[in-house]
Amino acid sequence: MDNQRPNSDIAFTETVKQLQRRNGSRDAYAKMEARGWQDRITPQLAAFIAQQNSFYLATVNAEGQPYIQHRGGPRGFLMPIDEHSLAMADFRGNRQFISQGNLLDNCKAFIFLMDYANRRRIKIWGEASMVEGDDALLRSVTPDDHAAAPERVLLFSVSAWDANCPQHIPRKIDADEVDDMLAKRDRRIAELEALIEQRRR
């Protein structure tokens, strides 16, 4: 972290701080700034990311127009490659290339990870690029047995990240998790029914 400026200034601009002062929250956030936000991928963050099958990527074009794109894949498809970098295989999609074009004009980017089941969210600020022609890197971040065709690598350099409180997050569970819970229940019911049948004999 810069000795002169806290890394939370990536989000807390002077205008934001003025609003915090006006609304009575500035003192609390000033104390948070003294501790600083994380700027490296901790084991806890890596474990959280490994469980996610979805995230949102925000970019901005040369005219300042924001764009948010949903990215999905098997759990762990977004992966740390060192303490400050995340990467994922960029698979063939609808061929609009909006995020890729934005990153060519402005490398600033933002990742938003939402875990609805456990009511947790992580915000990650940084810079990103699309890496083409690095076959070794592409192979290393391509999930096994994934049907889609990988074309390039999204490489994300982490500047700062923060975990939000669970306030106002609705609890939702992914369909695959529901299917797994129902399958476990059905197996348990079958076991109990078999046990009951044995005792009747």
Residue 1's pLDDT band (cuts 50, 70, 90): very low
- Per-residue pLDDT reduced to its tens digit, 142-151: 988 777 778 8
Q: What single-letter amino acid sits at 194? A: A
Residue 2 has pLDDT above 70, yes or no: no
Taking the C-alpha atoms of residue 117 and residue 33, their distance in angstroms, rounded to an integer, is 29
Strands (E), the chain: 54-60, 66-72, 79-82, 85-91, 108-115, 120-131, 150-164
Question: What does the DSSP 8-state code read for residue 118?
Answer: T
pLDDT one-digit tens code per residue, 50-108: 999 999 999 999 999 999 999 999 999 999 999 999 999 998 777 889 999 999 999 99
For residue 81, give Cα distances in angstroms to 41, 154, 167, 169: 10, 12, 31, 29
4 CB neighbour count, 10 Å cutoff? 6
Query: pTM value?
Result: 0.83
